[in-house]
């Protein structure tokens, strides 16, 4: 046992995972979390008997078909999750009546694309050919790259050269650019709508998820984000960790070029041998650390690098079911909804959560509608400066979305039990997330596969993990990021990195 104490900032997925890894390696940890619950942006909330899930649609690595599963299983007891797989990821519905089904089966998906545009065979085959290759890859995730020895590098090229070649071949084009080669405007629109507003992302950010979907390793855990967090938190606590909720960190205390503790907003201080922040990147690097300790190049990334577009979530508790309509509809709106400088949010992602009985009373459905916006600042400023108008704007958005749902499904308005609107300002309020960007850095061609430093040169004992370190966000990436950073902490404290043993073994040891 190293007996060293690590203070962790943030009980999001990454902070909790980091806690489990550190506890397993013999460190003593405590997590300081500003919110009253764990999970960070991966969150759900209750309203009038309904649960509105704000995050977990799908869990890459949910089955052993992808080796990320093995990493997740180190911090999550999968026997406690009831995972279901859908046959289709989403149904895309265009205003002209086109329906495009995004199947989680490459042959069906290819047939669907050809049905919409038989003249685009070459581009379609190039896309589905790449998707099929993904099932042959495992990811080189067992060791963090900073610790690679020459023999690790040799093994990387020997065992993963086809994956490396694949990444180099596909990462340069954006999603928009690749599909601009399609002759069919309709198919182009459909392909861009699989992940709306991600057109500037690298094509890899579409290929990999679609590839994993077709490998049946992107299931949904019943209970959604809340259940996922519960299982993650349980494991951390079982390993001896603890979380201090409602404790917002104000600054990281530095002594003789070393992070030696935390100062909280309630005025109290915490001493530690090392500090690991899994909190939002801007909050950590710009607000919590003294300016002189963070290199200008790192500070400069805020404002220079692209972010995930922010979003609004309009959640409905509805006294009816939606049988036969699938789990997710991505809908072109009849009337785009303007807000601030955003001329019109024109695509709605509608999750019909009837597949999860824990989210609504019997015979009722939790319906989650997501709109992505290009003007997150409008909402952040409005909430801060004009709360009344902020409230009336939220009502306007809820009305506009209700209209669209009424047109699409009928029998909505009279069946609504409750409505809840979350804006980019809501995400900032509860998780401090910079500019409401709920998944951090966008995986553009320049960023995909890259990470930001996990340590700062000249500042000992300070570490970073989470979605502001790795681009692309996502639950497994948050866990992997924690695992990578803990390997560095172990190296610095001359401790052997040992992943947590299976839950049953920990329980036995404790007994
Ligand atoms: C709407 C939505 C849908 C998503 N869908 C999926 C999906 O289907 N599949 C998937 O894999 N991923 C999905 N994600 C992404 C995934 O949830 C995130 O990438 C991941 O949860 C990020 O975890 P994190 O720990 O890195 O960051 P965070 O969740 O941001 O955790 C950071 C924590 O730090 C805390 N904190 C911040 N500042 C302070 C401070 N000063 N003091 C103390 N605590 C502080 C925050 O409150 C938070 O708890 C989704 C996210 C959202 C929002």
Report DSSP letters for 53-114, one per residue: ESS-S-EET-STTSTHHHHHHHHS-GGG--EE--SEEEEEE-TTS-EEEEESSHHHHHHHHH
Distance 279 CA to ligand 1 centre (A): 8
pLDDT of residue 472: 84
Distance 228 CA to ligand 1 centre (A): 13
Q: Using DSSP bridges, classify how beta strands 88-93 and 328-339 pair: parallel, antiparallel or unpaired.
A: parallel
Sign of the torsion angle spanned by Cα atoms 352, 429, 375, 284:
negative
pLDDT of residue 511: 63
* C-beta 347 within 6 A of ligand 1: no
pLDDT of residue 471: 83
Task: Please enumerate in sequence order all residues whose Cβ is within 8 A of that of 301, keeping only pairs 6 or more positions apart, or say none.
Answer: 452
Which portions of the chain are predicted below pLDDT 70?
Answer: 1-2, 502-511
Beta bridge partners of 57: none
Q: Which of 227, 474, 486 to mutate to test the pocket of ligand 1 (most atoms within 8 A of CB)?
A: 474
Boundaries of every domain in the chain: 5-42+226-305+442-510, 102-215, 310-436
* C-beta 229 within 6 A of ligand 1: no
* Ligand 1: nearest atom to the Cα of 287: 41
What residue's CA is closest to ligand 1, atom 15? 474
pLDDT of residue 452: 86
Q: How many CB atoms lie within 10 A of CB 443?
A: 28
What residue's CA is closest to ligand 1, atom 14? 474
Sign of the torsion angle spanned by Cα atoms 173, 105, 44, 499:
negative
Q: Are 486 and 18 in contact (CB under 8 A)?
A: yes
Superfamily of domain 5-42+226-305+442-510: FAD/NAD(P)-binding domain (3.50.50.60)
* C-beta 62 within 6 A of ligand 1: no
Q: Using DSSP bridges, classify how beta strands 455-456 and 83-84 pair: parallel, antiparallel or unpaired.
A: unpaired
What CA–CA distance (Å, rounded) separates 15 from 40? Answer: 9
pLDDT of residue 282: 94
* C-beta 144 within 6 A of ligand 1: no
What's the gap between Cα 429 and its chain centre?
A: 18
Q: Which of 13, 19, 41, 369 to mutate to test the pocket of ligand 1 (most atoms within 8 A of CB)?
A: 41
* C-beta 15 within 6 A of ligand 1: yes
pLDDT of residue 510: 66
What CA–CA distance (Å, rounded) separates 106 from 33? Answer: 42
What CA–CA distance (Å, rounded) separates 16 from 344? Answer: 38
What residue's CA is closest to ligand 1, atom 10? 474
CA 26 → CA 361, 407, 505, 506, distances in Å? 44, 58, 16, 13
User: For the whole model, what pTM was predicted?
Assistant: 0.96
* Ligand 1: nearest atom to the Cα of 431: 47
Distance 389 CA to ligand 1 centre (A): 28
Q: Are 320 and 415 in contact (CB under 8 A)?
A: yes
């Amino acid at each position: 046992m190293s007996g060293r104490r690590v203070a962790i900032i943030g009980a999001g997925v990454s902070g909790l995972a980091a806690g489990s890894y550190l506890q397993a390696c013999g460190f003593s940890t405590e997590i300081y979390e500003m919110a009253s619950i764990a999970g960070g942006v991966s969150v759900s909330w209750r309203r009038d008997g309904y649960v509105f899930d704000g995050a977990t649609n799908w869990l890459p690595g949910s089955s052993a078909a992808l080796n990320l599963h093995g990493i997740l299983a180190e911090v999550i007891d999968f026997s406690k999750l009831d995972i279901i797989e859908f046959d289709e990821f989403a149904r895309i519905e265009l205003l002209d009546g086109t329906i495009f089904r995004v199947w989680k089966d490459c042959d069906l998906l290819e047939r669907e694309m050809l049905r919409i545009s038989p003249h685009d065979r070459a581009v379609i085959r190039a896309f589905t050919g790449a998707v099929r290759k993904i099932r042959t890859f495992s990811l080189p995730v067992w060791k963090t790259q900073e610790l690679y020895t020459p023999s690790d590098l040799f093994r990387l090229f020997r065992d993963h050269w086809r994956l490396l070649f694949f990444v180099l071949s596909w990462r340069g084009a954006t999603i928009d650019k690749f599909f601009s080669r399609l002759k069919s405007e309709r198919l182009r629109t459909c392909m861009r709508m699989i992940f709306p507003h991600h057109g500037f992302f690298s094509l890899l950010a579409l290929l990999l998820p679609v590839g994993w979907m077709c490998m049946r390793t992107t299931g949904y855990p019943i209970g959604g984000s809340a259940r996922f967090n519960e299982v993650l938190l349980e494991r951390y606590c079982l390993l001896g960790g603890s979380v201090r909720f409602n404790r917002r960190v104000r600054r990281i205390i530095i002594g003789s070029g070393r992070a030696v503790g935390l100062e909280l907003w309630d005025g109290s201080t915490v001493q530690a041998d090392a500090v690991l922040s899994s909190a939002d990147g801007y909050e950590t690097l710009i607000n919590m650390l003294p300016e002189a300790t963070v290199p200008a190049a790192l500070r400069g990334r805020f404002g220079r690098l692209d972010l995930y577009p922010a979003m609004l979530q309009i959640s409905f508790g509805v006294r009816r079911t939606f049988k036969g309509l699938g789990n997710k509809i991505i809908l072109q709106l009849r009337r785009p909804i303007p807000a601030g400088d955003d001329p019109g949010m024109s695509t709605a992602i509608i999750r019909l959560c009837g597949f999860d009985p824990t989210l609504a009373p019997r015979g009722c459905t939790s319906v989650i509608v997501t709109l992505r916006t290009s003007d997150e600042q409008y909402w952040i400023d409005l909430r801060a400066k004009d709360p009344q108008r902020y409230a009336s704007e939220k009502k306007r958005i809820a009305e506009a979305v209700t209209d669209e749902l009424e047109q699409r499904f009928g029998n909505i308005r009279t069946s609504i039990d409750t409505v809840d609107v979350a804006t980019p300002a809501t995400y900032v309020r509860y998780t401090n997330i910079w500019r409401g960007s709920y998944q951090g850095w966008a995986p553009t061609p320049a960023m995909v596969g890259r990470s930001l430093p996990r340590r700062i040169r000249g500042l000992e004992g300070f570490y970073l993990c989470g979605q502001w370190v790795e681009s692309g966000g996502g639950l497994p990436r948050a866990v992997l990021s924690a695992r990578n950073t803990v390997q560095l902490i172990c190296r610095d404290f001359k401790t052997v990195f040992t992943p947590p043993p299976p839950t049953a073994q920990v329980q036995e040891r404790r007994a």
